[in-house]
Amino acid sequence: MKTVPVKTIVVTGGSRGIGLGLVRSFLARGHRVALCGSRAGSVREAAAELDVLAMVADVTDRAQVQSLWDAAVERYGRVDIWINNAGVSHSRAPLWRLPAGQARSVVEVNLLGALNGSAVALAGMVAQGSGHLWNMEGLGSDGRTVPGLSVYGASKRALTHLTRSLAEEVPPGVSVGLLSPGMVVTDLLTRGYSPEELEKAKKVFNILADRVETVAPWLAERAITRARNGAHVRRLTPAGAAVRFALAPFRRRELFTD
């Protein structure tokens, strides 16, 4: 089996959810990892548990994102892969009922945060002569709409456009791609449902979704081995979703048991 060189990887939003799952998976493969999170408590917990560089950083503030890059380079010498994973969702509600603060937060974290991370990472990678940037897709990236999640979907649709455009801008040696984890059982997936709505939604989630511990290793391996310009790594394709629905009557899955 071909040996993969040790990489230095930065994961924003890496102290919880799929981001933390990716961090653990990269470490298990022998790579060096730096992460940031917006919550001091979860960042402290990650730092105490794992051999990582962990920082509290607000991705909507480019200066804080730059500090993350600088700290990673100071400790590890360079950054090989940067993953813009930080993201938030909002209450499930039509736009006209959605509090302005929630709408603004989603756009700022999901889009402005990725813009900041992309700008900082690509500038550093161009200067060092190489590196790969991954942006994390989500609901809406493929144009699919879900009532009540219009702002979140719009932010992810814009992120996909941004990434494809960046892939045409970067010089040789630097590359950009998209990671699509599919449905992952985290707070981001289940937020905003009433108890009754969530019970109905779980029927679909149990068919299409996977737990973090299933998705993260799969995604981490491909984030390393498929890091080339214009790459699009998708965990759940339309064909794959169709197969899962076809098999659902014969394969019972329960992802929400304790």
Tokens read off for 71: 């700290």
Cβ proximity of 133 and 118 under 8 Å: yes
What's the CA gap between 119 and 105, in Å, rounded? Answer: 20
What's the CA gap between 126 and 22, in Å, rounded? Answer: 25
The dihedral over CA atoms of 180, 1, 175, 130, expressed in degrees to the nearest 10, equals 140
Residue type, 118: S
SS3 for 9? Answer: strand
Query: Annotated catalytic residue: which of 152, 163, 184, 223?
Result: 152
Which residue matches tokens 């990236």? 141
Kindly write down the DSSP assignment for every residue of 138-203, as one continuous string: -TTTTS---TT-HHHHHHHHHHHHHHHHHHHHSPTTEEEEEEE--SB-SHHHHTT--HHHHHHHHH
Tokens read off for 217: 């290793």
Length of the chain: 258
152 catalytic? Reply is yes
Residue type, 5: P
C-alpha closest to that of 133 among 12, 43, 253: 12
Per DSSP, what are the bridge partners of residue 10? 34, 82
To 10 degrees, what angle do helices 100-107 and 150-169 make? 20
Could you give the residue numbers annotated as active site?
Answer: 152
